[in-house]
Structure formats: C-alpha cells, structure tokens
Amino acid sequence: MNPDGTVGIVLVSHSAALAEGAAQLAAQISGGTVAVVPAGGTDDGDLGTSAEKVRQAVGQADRGAGVVVLPDLGSAVLTVRALLADDDDLAASVELADAPFVEGAVAATVAAVGGGGVKAVLSAAEEAWHARKF
C-alpha cells in the first residue's frame, strides 16, 4: 500500500442511477479529490448487482491506499463478499463497510479527502449509523 495515496470509495447499489447519484453527491460535498466510483445494476443494466462491475470499480478506485466499499442493501453485500472470497489480492485492499448508503458514502468520502487511511474512512462510514439528520 502506498501511504501517500488517498483511499478510494466504491458504491455498490442495485440501481445504477442510485450508485451514480450517491457518488456525484459525495464527490460534490467532499470537494471531489478522491476516487468515488459507482457500481450499480446488473451487467444487463437491470436492477441488481454485478460482481464484475464491482471488480472494475475497485480497480478504478484503488490508488494504492486501499478501497472502502459501501453496499446499499441485502444481496449487494453478498455480491461483494463472494467476490472478495474468490480473490485474495482484491480482498487485501478492500474493506466492506456496514453503513447507511448515502450518509456513509458522504462521510467516507469526506474522511478520504481529509487524508484518512482505510480504517479511518471505514470508521467514518460506519459512524454514520449514529448521525442524526436534525
């Protein structure tokens, strides 16, 4: 791992539009200097998740300091877990976050822009469970 790189973020959603929108929002709020890569929908463009899309997104997001992956719901978690179980190299650079999707994406991206390492970015995402909107 390259300590000088920033942590990348991958947003895995059943919906391509949701993943893209969340990535756009997180990039805007954080100032957009880290990789926030959406991986939404199936390979056919339907609602669902794609291991291949996740693999490509992780590759794009990885700048040498690790990647935090946020799944939206249910089988998005299973897709990422299955992918990591089959690929040790990928698993070595990826942390899977158990976090609310939008809030976690924003918190993780801001933490990455702030220079946080992979564990700090993961914590920022997971702390989103405790953040009240008002």
Partner 1 sequence: MPASSEQAVKLDGDLHARPAGALAVAAARFSASVSLSAGGRRADAKSVLAVMGLGATSGQLVTVSAEGPDAGEAVAAVAAILGRATEVGT
Interaction of residue 99 with partner 1, rule CB under 8 A: no
Contact by Cβ (8 Å): 69, 79: no
Radius of gyration of the chain (CA): 13
The one-letter amino acid code at 106 reads: V
Using CA atoms in the order 116, 119, 122, 128, what is the torsion angle rounded to 10 degrees? -80
Among 17, 24, 31, 85, binds partner 1 (CB under 8 A): 31
Residue 23 CB, nearest distance to partner 1 (Å)?
Answer: 14
Among 21, 48, 114, 117, binds partner 1 (CB under 8 A): 114
Contact window for partner 1 (CB under 8 A) among 50-58, 63-71, 79-87, 121-129: 121-129
Interaction of residue 97 with partner 1, rule CB under 8 A: no
Among 7, 51, 69, 107, binds partner 1 (CB under 8 A): 107
Interaction of residue 3 with partner 1, rule CB under 8 A: no
User: How does 16-36 read in b/e, with b if 16+ C-beta sit within 10 Å?
Assistant: bebbbbbbeebbeebeeebbb
Interaction of residue 133 with partner 1, rule CB under 8 A: yes
